[in-house]
Amino acid sequence: MNGEPIVRWDWVARNWANGSPSAISALLGGHVVMAFLPVVLGLAVALPLGLACVRWPRLYQPTAALMNVTYSLPSLVLFSIFLSVTGLTQATVVIPLTFFALAVLIPAVVDGLTSVPEHVRQSAVAMGFRPVRRLLLVELPVAVPVVLAGLRVATVSSISLVSLGALIGQGGLGNLFIDGWQRQFPTPIVVGISLVLLLAVASDGVLVLAQRLLTPWSRARRSA
């Protein structure tokens, strides 16, 4: 790229928060919204739908098949489909990524709930736990490691896939890639890649910490 240094820190300082929509901080904020909103929405849908699939097993196979088909589609195909409906807005990225998150989270919820040992359920019943209380206080806590494993995959994937939205002008940090390649200027590319990686690593670390806080008995078992 014509002798340019890999990173020009003066450019980063000028463009970090210059008040424009293309400022690095603004792109980072948009990236965070478009990456995390699909995961939150996906989890909100996956929990009741996963519970329904466990309650009525015949529902799981068609649901899983539909999600697998959706997950197999290239993200740009889904972006193009929704582009005609939602236009050049963040929704064009958020909606497809929500479907991708569902494809990961629904099996995680189902696997987590079905992994709860039957004797644990029976013990809760014997202690007088009604179904809702048993679900909230026994089954979901036991299923947390499996569900959070799926949530980690969905979160990191979403953070990565948001960048492709730059091809329709809604890619958060991915816009830095486009800008760098168009101008043959490496700094925006390096900054964009670095921030995406840091965001993914930080998010995964927070979820690992959340799992440790939500499953204190696993730490006690390892230390015993």
CB-based burial label for 21 (10 Å; 0-12, 13-18, 19+): exposed
pTM of the prediction? 0.85
Q: What is d(CA 31, CA 174) in angstroms, rounded to the nearest whole number?
A: 8
CA dist 46 → 63, 121, 186 (Å):
11, 22, 40
**Amino acid in position 18:** N
Q: Residue 171 phi/psi, 5° resolution? A: -115, 10
| 84, part of any domain | yes
CA dist 213 → 46, 89, 152, 202, 209 (Å):
22, 37, 15, 17, 6
**Total domain count, the chain:** 1
Between these two residues, 127 and 4, which has the higher pLDDT value? 127
Between these two residues, 222 and 36, which has the higher pLDDT value? 36
Q: Is residue 120 predicted with pLDDT exceeding 80?
A: no
Here the CATH number for the domain that contains residue 77 is 1.10.3720.10
The percentage of the chain sitting over the pLDDT mark of 90, rounded to a whole number, equals 33
Q: What is the DSSP letter of 5?
A: -
Residue-range definition of the domain harbouring residue 203: 35-223
Q: What is d(CA 210, CA 208) in angstroms, rounded to the nearest whole number?
A: 5
| 24, part of any domain | no
CA dist 138 → 4, 95, 116, 210 (Å):
58, 32, 9, 18
